[in-house]
Amino acid sequence: MFQRILATLLLAALAPAVVPSAAAAPALQYQTVLGAGDVPLNVVAAGDPSKPAILLIHGIGQSHLSFENQLQAPLTDEFYVVSFDLRGHGNSGKPWGANDYRDSVNWAGDVAKIIQTLKLDRPVLLGWSYGTLVVADYVRHYGTAGIRGIELVGAYGGFTPPPPPAPPAIAEMMGRTRALQMSSSPADNAAAARGGARMLTARDMGEDWYNRATAISMMLPMYARKQMFDRKLANADLIPGIGVPVLLNVGVKDLSTPEAAARDLAAKLKSARVSVYADAGHSPFSEDPDRFNRELAEFARAAMAPAAVTPGKPKPAKPAKPLPAAVL
C-alpha cells in the first residue's frame, strides 16, 4: 500500500504540469561538491558565473527545487544564482552520524565549500526556514567578510527569541505532524510529509506543487530530521558582528515570522530592512515570485555596492537554547 502511495506521489511530482518542457526549461548546471566531511552535495547553478552571485539555502525536508522561480530569468540575467540540496536532503549525501547534523561546523563548512569550489565572489546568502539557521552557522564560523548580504525568509536564524505559541488547534496539528515525522514507519512519514507540504504556503499552490513537495520531503531520512531538530542553537550573540546588509522577509500568515520580531531584529542590525507580504505564508518566494525576485535583485544590487559592506566577525558563542518547534 505504501509503495503505491509513494509511486503515485512521485508520478505526480514528475508530471508535465510541474516540470517545464525542454524548450522552456532554464539552463541549469548541476555538479557534485564535496562538503564538510566530504559529504557529496547536489549543487545547481543558473546564469553567467562572471556575474554577481546569490546563494540560496532551502529549508528542512525540501530541496533546491523550492527556488525554481529564482533559478531562471529575469534573476539569472543579472546574477549567477546557485542553490543546493542540504546534507541529508534531495540528491545530496545522507551521512549516518549524529554530529553530521548536530554540529554547526558541518553546515557552515558545506556553504564554505560551495563558495570555494564555484569561486563565488562574496555572494549574497539567502536562507529560508531551516536555511536561515545554516546562514547563521556560516556567520558563526566564517564571519561576514566573505559575503555581501544576508536575506532571511520564513524564520530569523535563531537571532530572535522563539515565536509565541501557536493557537491550540494549530499546535495540536503540528504536534501530530512531528510525531509522524519521527515515526519509524514510512507510511507515517508519508502522512507527515503530506501535512507538512500544506503548511509551506498560505496560498493554494495546486495539487501538483504539493505532491512534489511531499515526494521531496520523503527524501530526508527520519534519523537526519531528528538530529536536525534536536541540535541546539542561539545566535543572538552574532548580531554585533554582522556588518553586511540584511533583508528580513515576513509572511503575515506565517506563524514562524511575527512582524514585531523582524522589526526588533532590524533595529539591532547595522543595516537592515523588513519586507512584509500580507497574503503570504512560509514561502513568499513561491507565493509571490515576481515581487520576491524584484526585491531580491534590488537588495543584491544595493548589497554589492562598495559602500554597503562593513565586514564583521562573530563573537564567541553564548549558551545554546533549544531549536524553536515552529521552524520547518
Q: Which residue ranges form the domains of the chain, and what is each CATH number?
A: 21-164+226-308 (3.40.50.1820)
Mean pLDDT of 47-53: 97
pLDDT per residue over 302-324, tens digit each?
A: 999 876 655 444 444 443 343 33
Using 50, 70 and 90 to split pLDDT, how confident is the model at 327? very low
DSSP string, 113-148: HHHHHTT--SPEEEEETHHHHHHHHHHHHH-STT-S
Contact status, residue 122 vs residue 115, Cβ threshold 8 Å: no
pLDDT per residue over 183-199, tens digit each?
A: 999 999 999 999 999 99
Local structure of 43: helix, strand or coil: strand
The x, y and z cell numbers of residue 278, run together, are 500580507
Res 97: pLDDT: 96
Q: Check whether 153 has a pLDDT greater than 60.
A: yes
Mean pLDDT of 30-44: 98
> What does pTM read for this prediction?
0.87
**Strands across the sheet containing 29-34:** 29-34, 40-46, 80-84, 53-57, 124-128, 149-153, 246-251, 272-277
* Of residues 2 and 235, more confidently modeled: 235
Residue type, 206: G
Q: Check whether 291 has a pLDDT greater than 80.
A: yes
Res 317: pLDDT: 40
Mean pLDDT of 136-142: 98
Q: How far apart are the C-alpha atoms of 181 and 210, rounded to whole Å? A: 17
Res 308: pLDDT: 60
Considering Cα of 254, then 255, then 257, then 259, what sign does the dihedral take? Answer: positive
Using 50, 70 and 90 to split pLDDT, how confident is the model at 21? very low
Q: How far apart are the C-alpha atoms of 134 and 139, rounded to whole Å? A: 9
The number of residues in the chain equals 328
pLDDT per residue over 231-258, tens digit each?
A: 878 999 999 999 999 999 999 999 889 9
Q: How far apart are the C-alpha atoms of 316 and 322, rounded to whole Å? A: 18
User: Beta strand 40-46 with 80-84: parallel, antiparallel or unpaired?
Assistant: antiparallel
Q: Check whether 205 has a pLDDT greater than 60.
A: yes
Contact status, residue 315 vs residue 237, Cβ threshold 8 Å: yes
